A and B are shown apart, each in its own frame.
Chain A
Amino acid sequence: MSEKKRRFVFTPESTWEEMPEGGLILDAGNADDFKTGDWRNIKPIWHEDKCKQCMLCYPVCPDSSIEVEDGKMTGIDYDHCKGCGVCAHACKFGAIDMVDEAE
C-alpha cells in the first residue's frame, strides 16, 4: 500500500490545541492511529503450518486485521483485531483458533 503523507496523526499525547476541531478526520485510514485491540477478550491464533494461503479469512475480517504481504498472509494485527472470530469461522483448514485472551 502506498504511504500517503498524513495531515494529522493522532497519538495518546495529542493536545486539544493540536487536534483538528470538531472531531474532523483529515486522512483516510486514520483508524490505524487508534489501538482498539484491547477491546478483545478472545484472540485468534494463526497456525502457519496449516494455512493454505487461500485468503478466505482476509475479506471477511471487519477490521483489516489479517496482515498480508505480496499476496500471502503474514500474521494478525493485534493492535486492531477485536476478536470477533469471523476469520476462524471462515477458515476451512483449522489454521485459526480462538483462545481466551487471558491465556
Chain B
Amino acid sequence: MAIRDKLSGNEAVAVAMRQIDPDVVAAFPITPSTEVPQYFSQFVANGAVHTEFVAVESEHSAMSACIGSEAAGGRTMTATSANGLALMWEMLYIAASSRLPIVLSVVNRALSGPINIHNDHSDSMGARDSGWIQLYCEDNQEAYDSVIQAIRIGEHPDVNLPVMVCYDGFITSHSVENIELLEDDKVKNFVGEYTPAEYLLKRESPVAMGPLDLQPHYFEHKRSQAQGMMNSKKVILDVAKEFGKLSGRDYGLFEEYRMDDAEIGIIVLNSTAGTAKTVVDDLRDKGVKAGLIKLRVFRPFPFAELGKAVSGLKALAVMDKSDGFAATGGPVFADVRSAMYDFAKDVPCINYIYGLGGRDVRADDIAKVYADLGEIAKTGKVSSTFNYLGVRE
C-alpha cells in the first residue's frame, strides 16, 4: 500500500533521496533548493542512509565532487538553483561528456540579474545544451517520482548520462501538497545497485577518465555522447512503464490534456500546467475545444512525437518561462516550431514569454492566451508571433 503524506516539493525529493540511499551527496545551499540537502543531511545525521555527505564551498566544487564520486563508482546526487547551476556550468559539460549518470534536482529560479530568488526557467534552460537529460515536473508528486526514475534512466548502459529533475522554485519546492510515497523497499528494489561497467576504483581493471582528446578522436566521443541522448528516449519510456506498474502513475515524454479533439492548444512546462488545466476545463465547459500539452522531457527533445501531437490543431501557443534573448522567442518555442516544420507546418504557432522572476501567472493570463488562439483559429491570421504575457506595457 502506498503511503499517503503531505510534503513540500523539496521534502518529497529529499525523501526520494533517502529511499534511493545514494553513495554520495555533495551539495552547496542556494535558495530555493537549500532544503533538499538540508533535509537530506538530517537523514545522514540520523543514520537513515549510508550516504557520504560532502559539504563543499561552492556549486562548482559540488559538481566537481559529484563527478569524482560518480567516476569512482558511487551513485551520486545533488541539488541546486539558478546561480548555483550557473557556477556548475563547466562541470555540467564534463559530467555529461564523461558519461557519469549523476542526478541533480534543479529547483528552477530566475538567473541573475537583476538578482531575484523566485521562479522562472532561465537557469535550466541555459543548461539545455550541456548534455544532461532534462525532466520537468508539475508538482511535488512528479518531482518525487521523477527523481526515482532519473536514477534508472541515467544509469542505463545505453544512456550513461546525467539527469536534471527540474521543478518550480517556491511554487512547487515550498508548497505542501498531498503526495503518495512508495514504500522504502519498493524504491530500493526499483533503483537496484549501481553497477557501472567501468569505474576508477575497480581493482581488477583500472581505468583513466577525462584525458586530453584532440582532433583524431574528440569528434567520435561527442558522436557517441549524442547516441546516449538519442537512446535515452526509449529508456525514459521503458522506465516510466515499469514505474507505472509499481506506482499506478503514468509518465511519458509529455502529457496530453484534453487534446483528442482540441482545436487550440498550448505547450507549457512545470507548475503552470496545473493553472492552465483549470483554464482548459473552464473553456471546455463553455464549448471551446481547448487542450494542453505539458512537456516533461525537454532533453532529449521529443521532436517527431510532439510535432505529430500538435498537427491537428488550428492554433498553438508555446509558453516559455525564460527569454533566450534570441530576439525571436524563447528556447522551447524554437525547438517546438522546428519540429512543426516537419510534422505540422500549416499550424499557426506563436510564443509567449511569461512569469519571469516569479511574476504571478493567473488563470486570467492563460485565458488570454487561449482567447488569442481562438482569434487565430477563426481568422487564420497571426498578428504577433513573439509575445510577452503579464508584463506592464
Binding site for B on A (CB under 8 A): 7, 10, 12, 14-17, 19-26, 28, 34
Alpha-carbon gap, A51 to B225, bound state (A): 50
A22-B99, A25-B207 known; 12 other A-B pairs, CB under 8 Å? Answer: A12-B216, A17-B224, A19-B217, A22-B98, A22-B160, A22-B221, A22-B225, A23-B209, A24-B209, A25-B209, A28-B206, A34-B216
A-B contact pairs, 17 of them (CB 8 A): A7-B205, A14-B217, A14-B220, A16-B220, A16-B223, A16-B227, A19-B217, A19-B221, A21-B221, A21-B225, A21-B228, A22-B99, A22-B209, A23-B209, A23-B217, A24-B99, A26-B205
Alpha-carbon gap, A96 to B198, bound state (A): 43
Number of inter-chain CB pairs below 8 Å: 56
Task: Let me know if B220 and A19 touch, CB within 8 A.
Answer: yes
Q: What is the number of residues of chain B that contact chain A, defined by CB distance less than 8 Å?
A: 24
Closest residue of B by beta carbon distance from A10: B217
Task: Let me know if B221 and A25 touch, CB within 8 A.
Answer: no
- Tell me which of A10, A14, A16, A17 has the highest count of chain B C-beta atoms within 10 A of its own C-beta: A16
Alpha-carbon gap, A12 to B216, bound state (A): 6
Residues of A within 8 A of B217 (CB): 10, 14, 19, 23
Task: Let me know if A25 and B211 touch, CB within 8 A.
Answer: yes
Report the minimal beta-carbon distance from A63 to chain B, rounded to whole angstroms: 14
Judged by a CB distance under 8 angstroms, whether B208 is at the interface is: yes
Judged by a CB distance under 8 angstroms, whether B210 is at the interface is: yes
Closest residue of B by beta carbon distance from A22: B99
The one of A15, A25, A26, A28 in contact with B220, judged by C-beta atoms closer than 8 angstroms, is A15
Instruction: Tell me the dominant secondary structure on chain A's binding face.
Output: loop
Report the minimal beta-carbon distance from B306 to chain A, rounded to whole angstroms: 27
Closest residue of A by beta carbon distance from B209: A24
Residues of B within 8 A of A28 (CB): 206
A14-B217, A20-B198 are known contacts. Are A25 and B208 too (CB-CB below 8 A)?
Answer: yes
